[in-house]
Each structure stands twice: as C-alpha cells, then as structure tokens.
Amino acid sequence: MRVDLFDFHLPSERIALRPVTPRDSARMLGVFGSGDLSDRHVRDLPQMLRRGDCLIFNDTRVIPAQLEGIRGAAKIGATLHKRIDLRRWQAFIRNAKRLRVGESVDFGSGVIAVAEERHDDGSFTLYFEGNDPVEVLLQRAGTMPLPPYIAGKRPTDERDAQDYQTMFAEKDGAVAAPTASLHFTPELMTAVAAAGIETTTLTLHVGAGTFLPVKADDTTDHKMHYEWGEIPLETARKLNEVRKNGGRLIAVGTTSLRLVESAADDDGTIRAFSGDTDIFLTPGYRFKAIQGLMTNFHLPRSTLFMLVSALMGRETMQAAYAHAIASEYRFYSYGDSSLLLP
C-alpha cells in the first residue's frame, strides 16, 4: 500500500510533553467496528470491557539507553536499540560519519565502547569495555531515551525517570516505553479486577526502531527492525483459556499485540514464544488472536498508525484521528489513549 495513505496533519500543540496526573485521568477515545466514537476517560475502561475479557500488558522496563560521548574531537550520540549479547548492543549513532569501525567512543564516567561493525541500515554494533554489566554502565552514563518529538522540545529531567516507566515494568531491556500502559494506576487495576476482567503480562523489549520514519513510498519496501520478546508457557495457556471461555484478548499497547500475533497459529492458538519478531501489520492482515487494542495516538505515516488501520480499517482510523485532533486530544507517548474494538 502507498505510505501516503496513512498521512494526516497534526498541529504541534497537540503533542503532549508531560503526562497528566493522575495517570488514569487521561482521556480515552472509544473506536468501534461500527465506526461509532465515544469520548471517555481511561478510568472508564472497566465499564467498556466485558467480564471475562483479558488485558495483556508488556512488563519490559526502559533502560537509560541514550548516551553522549566523544571520539577524538567529535561528539557522538548513541541510542541503544537491541541487545546482541552480554557486552554488545546494536545502536543508532548520531554524527555517524565521524565514527569508523574499530574506533572507541568515550561516554564519560568510565564508560567506553568500541564500534565493532556497521550495519546496512547505518547502525553500529557497540562493544562495551570493562567487567561491569552493561546495565551498570548505563546507570552511570546513560539517560532516559525520550522520543525525539519530546526530546526536541525540552531536555530529559528527573521526572522522566518515573513518568516514562509503567507500573508493570520489571524486566530491563527496552529503549522505549510501552506507552499505552503508562495510563494504569493501582486504583484502576483494582477496578479492573472488580469488574471480572483478567490480566496477564508478556515481555517485548521495545527498540529505538519504533521511532524511525517510514522512508519508503510503499509499505512492501519498508523493513522492520527485530525486537526480542517472550510469552511464557503459563501466559500462553491463560490466553488460550480466556479465548476458550469466550473472553476477548485486549492488548494494552501495540507491542503486546505484535508479540501475541507473532506467537499465534492460524487458528488463533497462542504458543509459548521466546525470540525475535519483526512482524509488520498493515491493512489486509487477518488478526489471529487479538480482539481489541488500547493504545495511544500515533505519528502520521508510521508503522503504528498502519497497525491500528489494519485492526479497525484505514478510513475508520482517519476519521477517529480527525475527531481526536478537533477535540483536542493529546498525542503520542505522554498523550491520551484510545480503545479500539473492531
């Protein structure tokens, strides 16, 4: 499909630079298969689902994966993207023309990495020197990797260390938050349980590739970056039991949705999963297991807007986004939410 079919104009003032407080007071747009729209709030979620449905959360934890260093006199920026092994990470590099394979970058605080390999997409494999775990090195020298549409308007600060983590964050490895889950609070989870709605978690370590623009003119020419994910056997069994009992699987975030669909058979049976996925969902895709999605509002021409268009239909989502913009919803990572029920 042509990428320009997924374009829309978003006024810059609609981009949220901070989350609302409390988190579950954010607005939420209900979008239904009929094309109907409903202006609600995140705290209304239990009333918008059915007893026996299951919310699927991503328990990845964002690491301080943004690094600033020097190579000689050159300033080099690195955003870690995907772990390769205990000491190596694939990273997107700023000022990459000043870095060659074999050269070292000093990120300060005793953190030094060697550029071991340059990949076809321009990213590098960085090897971190020393004996301390890379996670310890990042705590010393790294900062939270806020999305470029926020980082370009204000610096990262101490608030972001809390604001950019979900209440489910347990497993280190993401360089971007699964932002749909940022809206949840203990109070909302209590209400979800009281409404008879099931919950479970899986892990998908979100990579920096989620922020990359689609440069191709046609979706068939776009290459997704791999991300590592895991669905434990116990989680897979629970999801299959929910489906067997007539409940709907509602992914909280596109990351949860992509991993479940990666692990599902054609008949909808979900298998335990551990490994990489680069699944790319565009209109025409037949969803195998997921029956609903809670997600924030996404960038124009992005793979994530293509994903929600695959679930709900492109015209439906274009109309929903036009309504959200006119109604002054807040967009992107720190913005408001939507509940998509095809």
Residue 248 lies in a domain: yes
The mean per-residue pLDDT over the stretch 34-61 comes to 97
3-state secondary structure of 235: helix
Verify that 176 and 297 share a domain, yes or no: yes
Indicate whether 105 and 252 sit together in one domain.
no
Q: Do 133 and 243 reside in the same domain of the chain?
A: no
Asked, for residue 157, whether it belongs to a domain, the answer is no
Among residues 151, 168, 152, 169, which one has the least CA distance to residue 160? Answer: 151
Residue 148 lies inside a defined structural domain of this protein: no
118 within 8 A of 44, measured Cβ to Cβ: no
Q: Is 84 part of a structural domain of the chain?
A: yes
CA 142 to chain centre: 20
The answer on 178 and 320 residing in a single domain is: yes
Q: How confident is the model at residue 114 (pLDDT cuts 50, 70, 90)?
A: very high
3-state helix vs strand vs coil in the chain, percent to 5 = 30, 30, 40
Q: Which of 142, 175, 193 is the last residue of a domain?
A: 142
pLDDT tens digits, 10-30: 999 999 999 999 999 999 999
> What value, to the nearest 5°, has the Cα angle with vertex 124 and ends 123 and 128?
145
- Residue 200 domain-assigned (yes or no): yes
Same domain, 70 and 54: no
Same domain for 197 and 87, yes or no, is no
Question: What pLDDT sits at residue 21?
Answer: 96
- Residue 154, in any domain of the structure: no
pLDDT at 195 over 70: yes
Same-domain check for residues 102 and 210: no
Same domain, 206 and 231: yes
pLDDT, tens only, 198-232:
999 999 999 877 767 788 999 999 988 899 999 99
Asked which of 142, 172, 190 is the last residue of a domain, the reply is 142
Q: What is the DSSP string of 286-297?
A: --SS--EEEEE-
Residue 130 lies in a domain: yes
Q: What percent of the chain has pLDDT over 90?
A: 90
Q: How many domains does the chain have?
A: 2
Q: Is 314 strand, coil or helix?
A: helix
Q: What pTM does this model have?
A: 0.93
Q: How many CB atoms lie within 10 A of CB 236?
A: 20
Q: How far apart, in whole angstroms, are the C-alpha atoms of residue 266 and residue 159?
A: 43
Name the residue among 86, 114, 87 with its Cα closest to residue 100: 114
**What per-residue confidence (pLDDT) applies to 43?**
98
In this structure, what CATH number is given to the domain that contains residue 133? 2.40.10.240
Q: What is the pLDDT of residues 292-302, one digit of tens each?
A: 999 999 999 99
Q: Encode pLDDT of 241-275 as tens digits.
A: 999 999 999 999 999 999 999 999 999 999 999 99
> 86 is in which domain, residue-wise?
66-142
Would 152 be classed as within a structural domain? no
The pLDDT of residue 160 is above 80: yes
CATH of the domain at 273: 3.40.1780.10
